[in-house]
Structure 1
Amino acid sequence: MNGASLATGQRSLGDPSVTFPLWPPQLRGCPETSTAEIAYPVEVDYAYEDVDTALFAQAPGPDLARWAPLLPPLHAPTLGEGGTPLLELDGLPGVYLKDESRNPTWSHKDRLNRVTVSAAVGAGAPGVVVASSGNHGASAAAYAARAGLPAIVLASAEAPPAVQSFVRAYGAKVLTMPAEDRWPLMRRIKVLTMPAEDRWPLMRRIVDRFGYHPVSNLTVTHTGHPFGAEGYKTIAYELFAQLGRVPAAVFTPTGYAEMLYGVWKGFAELRRLGVAETAPPMYACEPAVGAPHARALATGTPAAIVELGPTGAYGIACTVGGHRGVRAVRDSGGEAVPVTDDELRAAQELLARQGLWQELSGAAGLAGYRRLGREFDGPVVCVGTSSGFKDLETGRERVRLLEDVDVDVSLDDLLRATDA
């Protein structure tokens, strides 16, 4: 480990003059600047003057504790998160994939949950609760199990069955409940059905009634856990080490924009500390059927709530945006890039042909880069967030059985016989 945390407190993104102690975490955003329509997040502040910049001379590797001075206190044990590969894409010189599917639970969320579950341990919480139908729930369940805490995962009825099995494997209780007769059922049954819009109110009740620590959002627009985005800063630290410079642009799949903001903050810290001279523009790549960050940026609002159309990219399909994503795009000089499902599938297929299996949401960074169609003076990084194992259709493909195969069949005929 590279020393103790230098975190000093929490600061409002609604008004940077509004500050709070580091503990307890402000789990409902900034109470002084938020309104009934807009919730402003808080972020963690540090004693930057005490940071030894030799911290950034180390090679990337697993365990976020290597970056401990610039993270909140890490009270939860590691699963070996971080240190993911950076791979240049064939046919796209200078374009790289930061493959976050190589984390312990096969997604970027492991960086967030190492930090948020650490906050739950530090706060003495009896357990953690998360509203998620995919990566976040699986990751939170794993880190809670590693830390010896029970976990409750509130999932929508549309969650892939394989992902729900993944979550249960860690001992988490998966609740997908109907709105009616909520509490009597909750006491008796582990796995139920529930519309997605009911999850946040239920999570607030679990937090308020049972003291569980929430590791996802509680507010009208997205604030999320105040410590969560800090885990994503480590992607920026690793990219700087892997490339030997700041990238010319970073394209990230964007749902609630916690990763987008965390990566931007990491590069901003490198610049603040004099380790790097610049920070890259950040591109928020989100489904075109909703795109709350694109809406907020276009209308000049701090955050937006939108209607959502159908999309296979369920991991980043959000009706609610957050101010952190708007800040990261605006302050970095980047853009929001809405992408269609067809563009997502094309990017997913391109990656798969190179041995990189991303879920549909995880291909949004590359889809956004291709849609923008812009040349950059230097390396471009597209973040890939999660394994294709977690897609909605994974495991549902029909297979074609081979019967009475002629041992003298030609290779072309044999390969044609495998096509469904």
Structure 2
Amino acid sequence: MNGSSLALRQRSLGDASAEFPLFPPLTRGCPLTSTSEIAYPLEVVYDYARVDGSLFGQEPGPDIARWSPLLPPLDAPTLGEGGTPLLKVGDVYVKDESSNPTWSHKDRLNRVTVSAAVACGAPGVVVASSGNHGASAAAYAARAGLRAIVLTSADSPPAVQAFTRAYGATVMSVPTEKRWPLLREIVDRLGYHPVSNQTVTHTGHPFGPEGYKTIAYELFLQLGEVPAAVFAPTSYAELLYGVWKGFVELRLLGVAGRTPRIFSCEPAAGGPHARALATGAPAAIVEPGPSDAYSIAGPVGGHRGVVAVRDSGGEAVLVTDEELRAAQRDLAREGLWQELAGVAGLAAYRKLRRDFDGPVVCVATSSGFKDIGVGSRRYPAVEDLTVDDLMS
């Protein structure tokens, strides 16, 4: 590939002067800047002066290790994540992350976070997740020879639970309010490496968004330029921030001359990042209403999303389930079946009705197989079917 990691250290997003060694990853947020009301994430700092310019002369393809200099050390083996297609759909481009090994964008994150678990000598990983994150973590842990514990909710889709269990993970349905205390106990008592959130507002794993930077690198090479705007489904905003940071690095390295506007796309029934941006808060917690877009319909936001939208000159867009279903249906008719939450970017772009000076990319995050109720309906045989019936 392209050499070893040039990662140097961790740095707080709450105060850039607060820096820490690269290891161990600070998975409970910045210890110097966080409070009981707001937890600030950390990011990874690199030796950018040593990055070889030829790094961006390659073709995008599977295995994000091709971007090793700009990632934390990758000590876990690949499953072939990355290199996903970019497809023109109407007047926008769709980055189809359902083409990843476990059919979601989470594979980019878990290649990096499970690598951290291997580097730290942890016996396994633990994650609180009701969907994509848990399945992906279980797959990458299995590939790395680690155990995985997935704390999920009883109402998560049965197909997703079966998917996660197939990798040999220990999957337990736990009431939402008890998942995070139990996760912390597993970390403290068993020494498992946490690859999901443990803090009051979201910080997650400091290495996680680094995997998502590779989407920005791929988009730049696939388009031949920086897009004018990127719309992404937003839950904890690790994806959003990672894409933004990737484009910032391209500009910093002199590879690109500009950065895109970044748009967070959340269910109208919640929207913690929209709330934080509207009120000027560093992060927010909301009381969400019902939404079938369960993958992004959480109450807790984080500071990463606020930074990405604010610093890029983007906006927060809220979309209803009806708008999501329309976008899901239209994408399927283009040959792309996405999870309801996964089409939030396209739904938000259509709702905003904005003209941009350059290409627009909507990140589509996950396969439609992950949706609630998929596979539960039966289709009995039709008696005396004729060709005329098929033409109606």
* Bucket of the pairwise TM-score, normalised by the shorter protein: over 0.9
- Cα RMSD between the aligned structures? 0.8
Whole-Å separation in 2 of the counterparts to 1:56 and 1:238 = 9
Q: Which residue of 2 aligns with 1:55?
A: 55
Post-superposition offset of 1:401:
2.6
Q: Which residue of 2 aligns with 1:323?
A: 303
1:404 aligned to 363, 384, 387, which one? 384
The C-alpha deviation readout for 1:118-162, integer Å capped at 9, x for no partner, is 000000001000000110000000000000000000000111011
Q: Which residue of 2 aligns with 1:179?
A: none
SS in 2 for 1:73: coil
Whole-Å separation in 1 of the counterparts to 2:155 and 2:296 = 14
Post-superposition offset of 1:306:
0.2
State yes or no: 1:229 paired with 2:226.
no
State yes or no: 1:138 paired with 2:135.
yes
Q: Which residue of 2 aligns with 1:7?
A: 7
Q: Which residue of 1 aligns with 2:118?
A: 121
The equivalences for 1:20-35 within 5 A come to: 20-35=20-35
The equivalences for 1:147-158 within 5 A come to: 147-158=144-155
Q: Which residue of 2 aligns with 1:313?
A: 293
State yes or no: 1:290 paired with 2:290.
no
Q: Which residue of 1 aligns with 2:163?
A: 166
Q: Which residue of 2 aligns with 1:354?
A: 334
Q: Is the 8 A contact 1:2 1:67 kept in 2?
A: yes
Report the AA paired with residue 129 of structure 1. V
Q: Which residue of 1 aligns with 2:78?
A: 78
Report the AA paired with residue 135 of structure 1. N
Report the AA paired with residue 126 of structure 1. P
The equivalences for 1:242-391 within 5 A come to: 242-391=222-371
State yes or no: 1:18 paired with 2:22.
no
Q: Which residue of 1 aligns with 2:106?
A: 109
SS in 1 for 2:264: strand
SS in 1 for 2:161: helix
Report the AA paired with residue 52 of structure 1. D
The C-alpha deviation readout for 1:283-325, integer Å capped at 9, x for no partner, is 0000010000000000000000000100000000110000000
**Structure 1 stretches of 4+ moved >3 Å:** none
Post-superposition offset of 1:410:
4.2
Whole-Å separation in 2 of the counterparts to 1:213 and 1:131 = 12
SS in 1 for 2:286: coil
SS in 1 for 2:150: strand
Report the AA paired with residue 285 of structure 2. I
Whole-Å separation in 2 of the counterparts to 1:210 and 1:139 = 21
Whole-Å separation in 2 of the counterparts to 1:286 and 1:295 = 11
Report the AA paired with residue 305 of structure 2. G
State yes or no: 1:67 paired with 2:67.
yes
Post-superposition offset of 1:400:
4.3
Whole-Å separation in 2 of the counterparts to 1:287 and 1:316 = 7
Whole-Å separation in 2 of the counterparts to 1:80 and 1:258 = 20
Post-superposition offset of 1:404:
2.6
Whole-Å separation in 1 of the counterparts to 2:387 and 2:219 = 47
Unaligned runs of 5+ in 2: none
Whole-Å separation in 2 of the counterparts to 1:61 and 1:10 = 28
Report the AA paired with residue 234 of structure 1. T
Report the AA paired with residue 152 of structure 2. A
Post-superposition offset of 1:265:
0.1
Whole-Å separation in 2 of the counterparts to 1:196 and 1:141 = 20
SS in 2 for 1:154: strand
Report the AA paired with residue 167 of structure 2. Y
Q: Is the 8 A contact 1:157 1:196 kept in 2?
A: no
Report the AA paired with residue 199 of structure 1. R
Q: Which residue of 1 aligns with 2:87?
A: 87
The range that moved more, 373-382 or 232-241, is: 373-382
Post-superposition offset of 1:198:
1.7
Q: Which residue of 2 aligns with 1:186?
A: none
The C-alpha deviation readout for 1:326-355, integer Å capped at 9, x for no partner, is 000000000010100000000000100000
Q: Which residue of 2 aligns with 1:414?
A: 390
Post-superposition offset of 1:197:
2.5
Report the AA paired with residue 276 of structure 1. A
- The structure number with the bigger radius of gyration is 1
